[in-house]
Amino acid sequence: MNAMRIVQATADSEAGRMPSQQELSEMGAFNEQLVAAGIMLAGEGLHATQRGRRIHFGGTAPTVEAGPFGPASEQIAGCWLWDVRSLDEAVEWASRAPLR
């Protein structure tokens, strides 16, 4: 089954500040573990919402809304997509993720 681990944005990520070297190293090591376990399908960090756009479909034509969007606590800074055997395995891997 596929599982997605979403990384919640923070005030720092929304301000465009990169993670520290230590955080980047921890994330790199975690990604290597995911690859070695054969479950990593994708992993991406996202730009701050000030650089983003939302496309809404519902009227006669799509509308585009420029960021930034709402409080950081309601935004996504990145995600991992995993191919795991069960929800329990997904929860186990999610609990090891260096970013909360």
Q: What is the residue-wise DSSP string for the chain?
A: -EEEEEEEP-HHHHTTPPPPHHHHHHHHHHHHHHHHTT-EEEEEE---GGG-EEEE-SSSS-EEEES--S-GGGSEEEEEEEE-SSHHHHHHHHHH-S--
> Which tokens sit at 8?
């919640």
Encode pLDDT of 43-66 as tens digits. Answer: 999 999 999 999 999 889 999 999
| pLDDT for 100 | 66
pLDDT tens sequence across 8-35 = 999 999 998 989 999 999 999 999 999 9
User: Looking at residue 73, what is its pLDDT?
Assistant: 85
